[in-house]
Structure 1
Amino acid sequence: MDAGVTGSFLLQYPQGNHNAYDTNAAHDKKDCRQCQGELSPAVGPGPHDLACLTERSSQRYTVRMLACILLAAGQSRRFGKPKAVTDINGRPLIQLLQETVLAAGCEELIVVLGARSEEIEPLLLNHSRVNVVHNKDHKFGQTSSFQCGLRQLSKAVTGVWLLPVDYPFLCRATLLRLSEILSQHPADIVIPTFDGKRGHPPLFPADLIDEFLALDPGLGLNTVQHRHRDRCRDCPVDDPGVIATFNTPAELLAWRAKLKL
């Protein structure tokens, strides 16, 4: 089904079977644990593999072609080494996040590297939906890196996740839920929340891409979000991973202890 075509659909699980994704189980803890290290590199279908089930559901959706910009260009001074190479349950964080995003149906995953990229790039997945770009201006911060990633996207993309690399405990089910909400409200900025706190990754509709690209790199990425407060839609999820970020080894250990991971 082409992007933008309206239809009813269920998302399929990534392990290659045909079990439909149950939206009522969007926050299943087992699914969250799968996101934290048990997925195979042979992750599953993109939006072109969505099963259209127009006769089995009265709910109407717009099929989306989603992309993700995974930001891993920072210098991680307080952490002491690139966060992307951090071991999470026996896996490099950068691999774990790639698998989680791809398993949620991301069609284009752009990994933005910068500082110490030679340590990170060998850990990237060899996957047809993964592309890497090097931001030579990474010292300007996340806005510059996000813009660098956006320039690599195809025109067919209808929504973009913004995902910094320091969210190691993010669940696939959360990404699926955000995708579902954008399908129902295609003009909205969909923001995950946990315990009343906004987190990452927000999912932006593609019409905002040009505005992000025109942004002064010295301004924060939330500038565009603030300009469009009326389009922001909070999406409560049962996933502390959307707020579990870290800058130091102690902060990462604290989250591990709190989440019992």
Structure 2
Amino acid sequence: MASIGAIILAAGMSRRMGFPKLLADFNGKPLFRYAVETAVQSALQPIVLVGGERVNALRQLTCDLPMVQVIDNPEYSKGMASSLKLGIAKVTGRVDGAMIFLADQPLVPGEVISELIKQYKSARNQGIQIIRPNYNGMLGHPVLFDSRLFKAFHQINGDEGGRSIVSNHNDKLLIVNFKNPYWGADVDTPEDLVKLKNIRP
């Protein structure tokens, strides 16, 4: 059985939002809690939540979830790559693969996680090392990376995330299709927050 961990990226600076979006109320919970709870309910382990400027608030708001390890990225202003590197370092040697979540995507359901893991377990022996969802024509998150690719994260910089790793290993990529376009929606603006509150996964 392959062991899968979770890295949840929650160190963004909310430039387009104008206020700390990950702490914003979304149907009664802080926005970031949805990705965290999906990872917990999917039995991913370890679960690493990477925070930045408001890491202490993330710790306080996850104190009821002892299985979630909140880590501080003091270089959060340098972009997503700095958070990814920290998260990957925390799970290296502990898992066969890691699923990368974005904390501003509250509508990803557990069935997406279970299907990505199912496809990974059946395809990894055929050389597949990246599993990525496609939501009705839009590639999205979470993305599952096999541990054989963890070293590649040392080379990324800025705000690119894992994009270059995916493009450099396109022959090892498997796309899993889902019909619901809202599952991959992220919250970037106050308008997004209002619109997505009325949608059920």
Give the TM-score normalised by structure 2: 0.90
1:209-253 CA deviation, whole Å, 9 max, x = no partner? 1111x2142361200000011111110124434421121111222
Q: 1:56 corresponds to which residue?
A: none
Correspondence list, 1:5-154, <5 A: 63-154=1-92
Q: 1:40 corresponds to which residue?
A: none
Compared with structure 1, are the counterparts of its residues 241 and 101 closer, same or farther at alpha carbon in structure 2 (3 Å cutoff)? farther
Correspondence list, 1:116-195, <5 A: 116-186=54-124, 187-195=128-136
Q: 2:170 corresponds to which residue?
A: 229
Q: Does the aligned pair in 2 maintain the 1:67–1:157 contact within 8 Å?
A: yes
1:53-105 CA deviation, whole Å, 9 max, x = no partner? xxxxxxxxxx2211111011111122122222121221122222211111112
Shift of 1:260: 5.6
Compared with structure 1, are the counterparts of its residues 111 and 219 closer, same or farther at alpha carbon in structure 2 (3 Å cutoff)? closer
Structure 1 Cα separation of the partners of residues 143 and 134 of structure 2: 10
Q: Does the aligned pair in 1 maintain the 2:92–2:147 contact within 8 Å?
A: no
Give the number of aligned pairs.
197
Structure 1 stretches of at least 4 aligned residues deviating more than 4 Å after TM superposition: none
Paired AA for residue 122 in structure 2: Q
Q: 2:139 corresponds to which residue?
A: 198
Q: 1:252 corresponds to which residue?
A: 193
Which stretches in structure 1 are left out of the alignment for 5+ residues? 1-62
Tell me the percent identity.
26
Q: Based on CA coordinates, which of the two structures has the bigger radius of gyration?
A: 1
Matched, 1:217 2:157: yes
Structure 2 Cα separation of the partners of residues 99 and 219 of structure 1: 25
Paired AA for residue 232 in structure 1: L
Q: 1:34 corresponds to which residue?
A: none
